[in-house]
Amino acid sequence: MIKKITCTWLFCLISLVSFASKEPLEILIQDVKGSPITHGIIKIGDGKVLSVNSNGQAKVDISAYSASVELEIYAMGFEQLKLTVGELMNNPRVVLKESLGQMDEYVLSATRTDRSVEDLPMPVTILTQEKIRETGAFRLSDILGEQTGLQLVADHGTGLQMQGLDSEYILILLDGEPLIGRTAGTFDLDRISVSNIERIEILRGPSSAIYGSEAMAGVVNIITKKQREGFSANVIGQYGSFNSLDLGAEVGLNTNGWNVYGYYDYFSTEGYDLNTENIGKTKAPHKAQTGQLKLGKSLGEKWKFNLNGRIYKDDYQDVIGVSSGGETLTADMAGDSRDININPSVRFKPNTDWTFTLRNMTTLYDTHSNTVFAETGEVVDEENFSQRYHRTEMQTDFRLDEKQLLTIGVGHQLETVDATRYDDNNRFNSGYLYLQHQWNPTKKWNVVTGVRGDLHSEYAGRISPKIAAMYAFSDNFSWQGSVGAGFKSPDFRQLLLNFNNAAVGYYVYGAMLVEEGVRQLEEQGQVQQLLMDPSSFGDLQPENSWAINTGFRWKLTDDLLLNTNFYRNQISNLIETAAVARLTNGRNVYSYINLNEVITQGAEVEANYRLGSQWRFSLGYVYLDSRDEEVIEGIKNGEYFKRNAQNQTRRVERSDYGGLFNRSRHSGNVKVNFWERHSGINVALRGIYRGKYGYGDINGNQILDDPSEYADGLMQLHLTLYKEFDRGIRLETGVRNITDALNQYDSTNPGRTYFVRVTASLDRLIGE
């Protein structure tokens, strides 16, 4: 017996000596398909954090740790894994399982601090690089259009709807900073290339308590790549229908406290035409270039400096038809736009409890367009637009204790616009202060409260509060709910626009200019009929909203996850376009008014199911009810009329009213992913459904109330095939809208398109 004990102790001693004398252990992190996970993070028990290289490898000096020390290994899009150093000694190859939904992923936009989706008491969607690649997307619009609860709309570019609210109520962020340059309130999603995107965070519900105006519906935060370790270089080439070409290159270096990442993308397309009877194309031919540089420098553990710069340039040209003297003449149209962003920041973390972050943002956005008659060269229309946006902000995070984090931010914003359509150089400025408290009173409760105050140069003060809470009934079932207020100030266009579309023959005046504009048109004899009293227009009131979001996350099994969200947005003083007068040429004069109260409400449901290592399924459904309460009151009072099939005039009934235009009551998606293990080919099949929606007022009573005013619903099917080869080569091909499903009222849908893409990791090709 003594001999056995002695041998056992001797064996353990030899093992410990052998363990301590080992060279740094090389850990290989892969997915179930055997592909390296290049963005993995390893956390060791003493707080040390390691990143993996482009081959999915990381080295750990195990001599500094005992066999019982625990490591946490995680990567965006994969489930977290905990191992001991001893277990890694036996097998240094780590396999991470793809996450079910997004429970293990971290998000920044919801609270401006890193939080796990599992711990967030508000509805958030995370799109990882893998999910982005599955779409075969050229531009950002292709990705967002496939997500549950998001709807693409054609309105002065490719815009977005969220919870029934349009693009002008959705804040678009790039690396946490707002992007400007909207046309009629729409930020054109086609301006954003996708090959350098690391992830996309989609936050639903009003976020004015943190971000202020333009975040009434929610936030889309686009996080671009940064170099995590060592050196990497990649090239990307993609070709598709309509002679669409996308070429990109990126290079990164992380050494001696420096983090450098550079990116360039060139995109060109011949555009497409959905109506060959009209002169010109639906989507004009254009060329776009994007350049980005990100610099970071760490000085010890306390100081970190970052400088992000981005430039985007777009050139387009087309021919259009212009009405002149009772006939349609051909005109040449050309234009360009430029978007420059410069974002420096400094972070100081003196200890584990305090973090100070100073951010600055400067953005310059310029556009120019010129239209001339093809035969004579006479100028039809010329327009210049220049917008400048500056913001400086100081954010302080203080950890009160292990359960509480307090965030305080103070900042100033300055915005100027100088354009052909505006009489003067216009200037808005505002200061703001926000407070946020994150609290975990127990293991089951998670509470986030916040409030923001804005002091605007035109609209005095605004207070935007929000409270969100989550209760975990178990590890697999949790409820979350939030109540918040949002606001949106009128922009320059809605107040001061002075626009005459010479090609079509209509006028648009800002609310502060419409009375004088209509008076001048009357003096010129151009007004046939006044539809509204121009003197009733004037200063617009800011839009205000209250919103409720509530739902649950339920992990029924290890492979089945259900997410739900029920919402209601109640908006006061919604700014809407209104026809003020009818001109003698049959066209109208437009301006902007406040609507008393608009409501959008509904439900979003998404289920994710994983079948082994080869199959993944996702099913999403959205129900939306949208309405103008003032219209409903008018219907009750018998103020609206329509003609029936017998051409008889009758009053509009409540059952006739279809709500707000361009909103689908029903929409959804179904997604199937399959990995064929023998060939290594991945298959992604997605079906995107949009139900019928009102496209316009046909009977002239200014509401949606007739079957002829609806566009039919349709389903689009997208298929992508991709394969990872050795040494960092990735090949993708696919087809979007396989059945060529078209809707004449949706100019964002070009029909069936094809693409092929090749990605090559140059550092892996050279290194191996």
Query: In this predicted model, which residue has the larger pLDDT, 507 or 459?
Result: 507
Q: What's the rounded Cα separation, in Å, for the pair 45 and 67?
A: 11
Query: In this predicted model, which residue has the larger pLDDT, 118 or 208?
Result: 208
Q: How many helices (H) and strands (E) does the chain have?
A: 9, 45
Sequence ranges of the domains in the chain: 20-96, 221-767
Residue 654 is given by DSSP the state G
Distance of CA 710 to the CA centre of its chain: 28
Q: DSSP for 140-191?
A: HHHHHTTSTTEEEEESSSEEEEETTB-GGGEEEEETTEE----BTTB--GGG
In our burial notation (b when 16+ CB lie closer than 10 A, e otherwise), range 697-735 reads eeeebebbbbeebbbebbebbbbbbbbbeeebebebbbb
Residue 286 in contact with residue 269, Cβ under 8 Å? yes
Q: What is the mean pLDDT of the chain?
A: 84
Angle, CA 109 vertex, CA 103 and CA 110 arms, to 5°: 65
Residue 737 in contact with residue 689, Cβ under 8 Å? no
- Res 15 pLDDT > 50: no
Residues across the chain:
768
What is the C-alpha end-to-end distance of the chain, expressed in Å? 54
What is the pLDDT, as a whole number, of residue 408? 94
Query: In this predicted model, which residue has the larger pLDDT, 235 or 38?
Result: 235
- Res 447 pLDDT > 80: yes
How many CB atoms within 10 Å of residue 311?
15
What is the pLDDT, as a whole number, of residue 48? 64
In tens, the pLDDT along 20-56 reads: 445 677 777 877 777 777 667 777 765 666 666 656 6
In tens, the pLDDT along 317-364 reads: 888 877 666 677 888 889 899 999 999 999 999 998 999 999 999 999
Q: What's the rounded Cα separation, in Å, for the pair 146 and 148?
A: 7
Q: What's the rounded Cα separation, in Å, for the pair 293 and 291?
A: 7
What is the pLDDT, as a whole number, of residue 19? 43
* Reported confidence tier of residue 541, pLDDT bands at 50, 70, 90: confident
Residue type, 626: S
- Two structure tokens written together for 440: 């975990």
Q: What's the rounded Cα separation, in Å, for the pair 5 and 10?
A: 9
Least reliable range by pLDDT among 75-89, 157-171, 508-522, 605-619 = 75-89
What is the pLDDT, as a whole number, of residue 101? 57
Q: Pairing between strand 286-299 and 303-324? A: antiparallel
Please name the CATH architecture into which domain 221-767 falls.
Answer: Beta Barrel (2.40)
- Two structure tokens written together for 690: 């949009």
Q: What's the rounded Cα separation, in Å, for the pair 493 and 383?
A: 14
Q: What's the rounded Cα separation, in Å, for the pair 117 and 124?
A: 7
What is the pLDDT, as a whole number, of residue 622? 97
Closest CA to 254 of 229, 234, 224, 233: 229
Backbone phi and psi for residue 545, each to the nearest 5 degrees, phi listed first? -140, 150
In tens, the pLDDT along 278-299 reads: 787 888 898 999 999 999 999 8
Q: Pairing between strand 753-761 and 230-240? A: antiparallel
Closest CA to 160 of 177, 141, 146, 179: 141
Q: What's the rounded Cα separation, in Å, for the pair 385 and 665?
A: 37
20-96: CATH homologous superfamily?
Carboxypeptidase-like, regulatory domain (2.60.40.1120)
Query: In this predicted model, which residue has the larger pLDDT, 165 or 41?
Result: 165
Q: What's the rounded Cα separation, in Å, for the pair 666 and 581?
A: 35
Span 536-552, average pLDDT: 87
* Reported confidence tier of residue 60, pLDDT bands at 50, 70, 90: low
How many CB atoms within 10 Å of residue 462?
22
- Res 519 pLDDT > 70: yes
What is the pLDDT, as a whole number, of residue 156? 63
Write the CB contacts of 707 (distance below 8 Å, at least 6 apart in sequence): none
**Long-range contact set of residues 400-407: C-beta below 8 Å, sequence gap at least 24:** 403/439, 403/440, 403/441, 404/437, 404/438, 404/439, 404/440, 405/113, 405/437, 405/438, 405/439, 406/435, 406/436, 406/437, 406/438, 407/111, 407/112, 407/113, 407/434, 407/435, 407/436, 407/437, 407/438
Least reliable range by pLDDT among 58-72, 365-379, 635-649 = 58-72
Q: What's the rounded Cα separation, in Å, for the pair 697 and 577?
A: 13
- Report the percentage of the chain scoring pLDDT > 70: 87
What is the pLDDT, as a whole number, of residue 13? 42
Q: Tokens 């566009």, residue?
A: 711
What is the pLDDT, as a whole number, of residue 253? 93
- Res 98 pLDDT > 60: yes
- Res 426 pLDDT > 90: no
Query: Residue 579, by phi and psi: left (phi above 0), alpha (psi -120 to 50) or beta?
Result: beta
Tell me the HSE value of 456 on the side-chain side, using a 13 A CA sphere: 20
- Report the percentage of the chain scoring pLDDT > 90: 36
Query: Residue 156, by phi and psi: left (phi above 0), alpha (psi -120 to 50) or beta?
Result: left
- Two structure tokens written together for 232: 């990497």
- Res 385 pLDDT > 60: yes
In tens, the pLDDT along 449-484 reads: 999 988 887 766 788 898 999 999 998 899 999 998
Closest CA to 664 of 686, 688, 680: 688
In tens, the pLDDT along 681-691 reads: 999 999 999 99
Least reliable range by pLDDT among 21-35, 154-168, 602-616 = 21-35
Least reliable range by pLDDT among 89-93, 500-504, 700-704 = 500-504
What is the pLDDT, as a whole number, of residue 56? 61
